[in-house]
């Protein structure tokens, strides 16, 4: 059965315009056993299809849109490991313009995007061209930014290939960095079509699945007690047998929560969108201190543990709920303690400068219960210091 979620919201303005030519699929034309999410935002319609072995369907769908030309932005590591698929894809669509990006933070620094914009100009892209991105989150963010800048907005299709980039895919927000200040530039832009082919996940190492599950768990914790229960019974200790988990369903449930939150607050104006920052505010601090030795998924997992404990110490989240959260995080193979020393004063200073905080006061997304978050302002720094000290190995 195809599951349908249709999200429609009211009027909002946009920083970027796109020549978005969203199609409304007849559900019968969707691939069998696939899931479908439609996010309708003013000026941007995004259709997300989740399924297995979607190669032929993807190519046929892109061909049916009759673009004047395609510009492919490719994750270099994915491309190396999947050269047969990449060559087939390029041939089927007659793609001549390809940019290959190493999947590292430096690739999404504004200073490195000039050469891609330059190549877009040389490719003579027009309003009816399309940028296609295949790869992980960095590739998607770069393509989202480039597509919003190119020819004053050009259509964009994303084929995410990692669990993190599928289950936490771009919905109305693509971020890039500037002079290594991570994710400081935000473009409100979405692909018109996102194809999450979960067959790609089978080729990934278990570690990458852990990193992606961190975002999946986050979505469950902020949006659905039922999904928390589902993950508790599905994710086995040490991620055993992960190849056989129902990935279509997991990606669909994760994205449904994100889509609902973003659709209610596309420009992050009333706090609802901020829910997706659960674990991220403290996680970014740890990411900074570790000098990126820990991966994003790992620091988010630690950030969720710390934020959960803060919620509990403030008398908001029950001990039982905190333990359930931490059990799921551990089973997913994510770290349970901070593996390096943390200077609390330094961490507090970084926290007060985070984009979520105002006037130097510390703001965090906290949990009320499993599936319910709220944004808490002016948190007592003593609680954060205590939690940081208790969680360092
Ligand atoms: Zn994240």
State phi, psi for 36 to the nearest 5 degrees.
Answer: -140, 130
Distance (Å) from CA 180 to ligand 1 centroid: 17
Distance (Å) from CA 294 to ligand 1 centroid: 13
Distance (Å) from CA 85 to ligand 1 centroid: 28
Q: What is the pLDDT of residue 263?
A: 87
Packing angle of the helix pair 280-289, 296-313 (nearest 10 deg): 130
Distance (Å) from CA 281 to ligand 1 centroid: 10
Distance (Å) from CA 112 to ligand 1 centroid: 22
Q: How many whole angstroms separate alpha carbon 358 and alpha carbon 349?
A: 12
Distance (Å) from CA 300 to ligand 1 centroid: 7
Distance (Å) from CA 280 to ligand 1 centroid: 6
Distance (Å) from CA 167 to ligand 1 centroid: 10
Q: Are 192 and 143 in contact (CB under 8 A)?
A: no
203-209-211-212 Cα dihedral, nearest 10 degrees:
100
**Is 392 strand, coil or helix?**
strand
Q: In what order do the strands lie in the sheet with 44-51?
A: 4-8, 35-41, 44-51, 193-197, 155-160, 130-135, 70-75, 97-101
Distance (Å) from CA 28 to ligand 1 centroid: 34
Closest by CA position to 200, among listed 356, 37, 31, 77: 77
Distance (Å) from CA 330 to ligand 1 centroid: 18
Distance (Å) from CA 240 to ligand 1 centroid: 23
Distance (Å) from CA 218 to ligand 1 centroid: 9
State phi, psi for 23 to the nearest 5 degrees.
Answer: -100, 150
Which tokens in the block code for residue 70?
A: 């395609």
Which tokens in the block code for residue 41?
A: 């935002």
Q: What is the pLDDT of residue 345?
A: 93
pTM reported for the whole predicted model: 0.91
Distance (Å) from CA 186 to ligand 1 centroid: 14
Q: How many whole angstroms separate alpha carbon 217 and alpha carbon 362?
A: 24
Distance (Å) from CA 257 to ligand 1 centroid: 14
Kindly write down the DSSP assignment for every residue of 115-145, as one continuous string.
Answer: HHHHHHHHTT--TT-EEEEEESHHHHHHHHH
> Across the 393 residues of the chain, what is the mean pLDDT of every consecutive 10-residue run?
34 32 62 90 85 96 95 96 97 96 86 88 92 96 89 90 96 77 74 96 96 98 98 97 97 96 82 88 91 90 98 97 98 96 92 78 95 94 96 88
Distance (Å) from CA 262 to ligand 1 centroid: 14
**Is 297 strand, coil or helix?**
helix
Q: Cα dist. 320→3, 14, 73, 370 in Å?
A: 32, 42, 45, 10
Q: Where are the alpha helices (DSSP H) in the chain?
A: 55-64, 76-81, 83-93, 110-122, 137-149, 163-167, 206-223, 225-234, 247-264, 280-289, 296-313, 319-331, 344-353, 381-390
Which tokens in the block code for residue 311?
A: 């919620």
């Amino acid at each position: 059965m195809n599951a349908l979620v249709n999200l429609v919201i009211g009027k909002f303005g946009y920083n970027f315009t796109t020549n978005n030519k969203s199609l409304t699929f007849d559900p019968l034309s969707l691939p069998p056993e696939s899931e479908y999410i439609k996010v309708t935002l003013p000026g941007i319609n995004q259709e997300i299809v989740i399924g297995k072995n979607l190669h032929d369907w993807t190519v046929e769908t892109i061909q049916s849109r009759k673009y004047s030309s395609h510009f492919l932005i490719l994750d270099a590591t994915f491309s190396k490991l999947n050269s047969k698929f990449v060559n087939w894809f390029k041939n089927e669509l007659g793609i001549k313009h390809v940019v290959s990006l190493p999947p590292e933070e430096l690739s999404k620094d504004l200073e490195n995007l000039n050469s891609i914009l330059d190549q877009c100009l040389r490719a003579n892209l027009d309003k009816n061209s399309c940028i296609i991105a295949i790869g992980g989150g960095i590739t998607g963010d770069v393509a989202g930014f480039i597509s919003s800048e190119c020819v004053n907005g050009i259509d964009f299709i994303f084929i995410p290939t990692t669990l993190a980039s599928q289950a936490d895919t771009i919905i109305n927000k693509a971020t890039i960095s500037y002079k290594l200040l991570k994710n400081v530039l935000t473009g409100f832009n979405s692909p018109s079509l996102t194809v999450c082919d979960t067959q790609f996940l089978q080729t990934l190492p278990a570690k990458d699945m852990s990193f992606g599950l961190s975002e999946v768990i986050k979505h469950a914790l902020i949006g659905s007690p039922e999904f928390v229960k589902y993950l508790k019974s599905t994710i086995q200790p040490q991620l055993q047998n992960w190849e056989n988990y129902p990935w279509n369903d997991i990606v669909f449930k994760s994205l449904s929560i994100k889509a609902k939150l973003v659709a209610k607050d596309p420009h992050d104006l009333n706090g609802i969108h901020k829910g997706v920052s659960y674990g991220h505010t403290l996680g970014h601090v740890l990411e900074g201190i570790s000098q990126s030795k820990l991966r994003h998924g790992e620091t988010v997992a630690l950030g969720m543990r710390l934020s959960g404990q803060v919620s509990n110490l403030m008398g908001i989240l029950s001990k039982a709920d905190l333990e359930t959260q931490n059990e799921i995080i551990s089973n997913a193979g994510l770290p349970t303690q901070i593996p390096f020393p943390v200077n609390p004063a330094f961490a507090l200073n970084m926290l007060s400068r985070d984009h979520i905080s105002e006037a130097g006061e510390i703001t965090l997304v906290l949990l009320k219960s499993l599936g319910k978050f709220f944004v808490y302002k002016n948190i007592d720094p003593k609680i954060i210091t205590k939690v940081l000290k208790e969680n360092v190995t």
